Amino acid sequence: MMKIFIVGPIKSRTRWGVEQNIRRVEERGFSVMSIGLKNPLSDGKPSCMPVIPHSMYRFFTDHIDDEHLFLFALELMKDCDATLLNHGWIETDLLNRSLSIFQGKLLYSIPETNDWIQEFVKNEKQKG
C-alpha cells in the first residue's frame, strides 16, 4: 500500500490557529484516503493511506522546538511514496530541507494525486 505524506503548516500564533492548520491537513488526508478506498483498479483493497504527522504531534507544538518536530516528520516522510503539499504551505528552510532529502513523488493537488495513484496502481497490477 502506498503512503502519502501530507505537508502543511502546523505552527500558529494561537492554539486555535494550530488547530485550524491541523484540520486543513486532516481534510487533505481524508481526500487521499478516499481516493485510495475508491480506486477501481485495486480490487476493493485500499491502494494508499495518508501519513499525517500533524495529528500525531498536535499537542506537542508548545513543548518541542521546530527542529525536533522536523526530525520526527522526516523519519515518517522517508517511508512514504509521495508527499502532498497542502493549501497554504509556506516555503521554509525546514520544508526545503525535508523535500531535498525526500526521494518520492511531490504532489501539489488532489486531482494530480488521484491521477498519480491511478497510474501507480495500474503499473503495480501490470507487474503482477
Determine the pLDDT at residue 127. Answer: 82
- The set of cell numbers assigned to 38 is 475508491
Residues near 16 by Cβ (< 8 Å), separated by ≥ 6? none
- CA–CA distance, 40 with 38 (Å, rounded to integer): 6
The full set of domain ranges for the chain reads: 6-127
pLDDT digits (tens, 9 = 90+) for 13-69: 888 988 998 899 999 999 999 988 877 666 777 788 999 988 877 777 677 787 787
Partners of 7 in the β-ladder: 85
CB count in 10 Å sphere of residue 49:
16
